[in-house]
Amino acid sequence: MEKQTEKLLREISEWDGEFKGAYNIRENGQCAGRVSSKNIKITNKEGKPGLEIHIAPGTVGETVSIPACVTHGGVDDLVYNDFYVGENADVTIVAGCGIHTETGEPARHNGIHRFILGKNSKVKYLEKHIGTGHGTGLKSIDPVTEAELGENSVLEMDTAQIGGVDKTIRNTKARLEAGAKLLIRERILTEKEQTANTEFEVELNGKDSGVDLISRSVARDNSRQGYHSVIIGNAPCTGHSECDAIISENGKVDAAPELHAHDNDAALIHEAAIGKIAGEQILKLRTLGMTEQEAEATIIDGFLS
């Protein structure tokens, strides 16, 4: 494994020389290490690049890590990873992607993840994306996530991309059966000329299913972000989405939330707020002795935490 991969791994995952639990490390489109556990089996996917991850029913408290790293320009990595989570399992999945370039050539990672959650299963999904290096080549990460949530299953997605990635298109789709819950926390910071677009489409198909989608973003310099969420309530269900964005300098944010209530007992709410940092917040922190710049950094840091 390359030194650069190790650096990226430390940033995007819990790697500290090794992983706890099952893992697969993807380095420039190749496998740089894989370990399955008794309950979590990682195998190659047939016919397409990528993995099948089978988590046995009733697996509790285990973690599986599947980081992907691109360490130089000229790589365009496409991968399909399918997760099959057995009934009553309760696990953590750590994904994440780091891209490093020192040249003018573009580097891209496009991870297509599918999650099939069995009845009563619970998954915590952590995904951190970073871009590093001084290369001028365009660094892009385009994740596609599709999730099928079986009855009473819970998927908690925590995703973060705090700068460094030039171009991102994120696409997340989920379908929920009765009693299933989806919680999404997304944080994105763009700066310079970066762009990030995020799309969510959630279908609440079962009785008492629910989604809570919270997106926080900061667009600085000349960067631009787009947010589009679609929540469709086809059953008695609850849906809540919240898009909060801070813009600074010439940053631009376009937010378009959509709610579709197709059942009389669908209760859907959207909240959105876009604007500069509130002047009062800066004043308060300055009265604690911070400079204006320190105050802004503190506010953004907290907002994206």
Partner 1 sequence: MLKLENISWSAPGGFGVLNGLDLEIPDGKLVVITGPNGGGKTTLAKIIAGIYKQDSGKILLNNEDITDKDITERAKMGISFAFQQPVRFKGITVKRLIELASGNRMNDGELCDILSKVGLCAREYINREVDSTLSGGEIKRIEIATVLARQTQITIFDEPEAGIDLWSFSSLIKVFSEMRRNLKGTLIIISHQERILNIADEIAVVADGRIKAKGAADEMMKTLMNSNEISNVCSKQEVML
- Residue in 99, 192, 79 with CA at minimum distance from that of residue 141: 99
Q: Which one of 139, 216, 220, 224 is in contact with partner 1 (CB under 8 A)?
A: 216
Binding mask 54-93 for partner 1 (x = CB under 8 A): ----------------------------------------
Instruction: Please identify, using beta-carbon distances, which residue of 264 and 287 lies nearer to partner 1.
Output: 287
- Residue in 111, 40, 47, 118 with CA at minimum distance from that of residue 81: 111
Total residues in contact with partner 1, by rule CB under 8 A: 22
Residue 142 contacts partner 1 per CB under 8 A: no
Instruction: Please identify, using beta-carbon distances, which residue of 22 and 157 lies nearer to partner 1.
Output: 157
At closest approach, how far in Å is the CB of 279 from partner 1?
A: 10
Piece of the chain touching partner 1 by CB under 8 A; list 40-48, 73-81, 200-208, 283-291: 283-291
At closest approach, how far in Å is the CB of 138 from partner 1?
A: 30
Identify the burial level of 289 via C-beta atoms within 10 angstroms of its C-beta, where 0-12 means exposed, 13-18 middle and 19 or more buried: exposed
Residue 286 gets which letter from DSSP?
H
At closest approach, how far in Å is the CB of 229 from partner 1?
A: 19
State which amino acid sits at residue 47. Answer: G
Residue 278 contacts partner 1 per CB under 8 A: yes
**Quick count: other Cβ atoms within 10 Å of Cβ 46?**
7
Query: Under 8 Å CB-to-CB from 24, ≥6 apart: which residues?
Result: 31, 33, 34, 35, 42, 51, 65, 66
State which amino acid sits at residue 241. Answer: S
Q: Where are the alpha helices (DSSP H) in the chain?
A: 3-12, 279-287, 292-303
Piece of the chain touching partner 1 by CB under 8 A; list 45-53, 82-90, 112-120, 274-282: 274-282
Residue 180 gets which letter from DSSP?
-
Q: Which one of 17, 47, 61, 289 is in contact with partner 1 (CB under 8 A)?
A: 289
Contacts with partner 1, residue ranges (CB under 8 A): 216, 244, 278, 280-281, 283-292, 298-299, 301-305
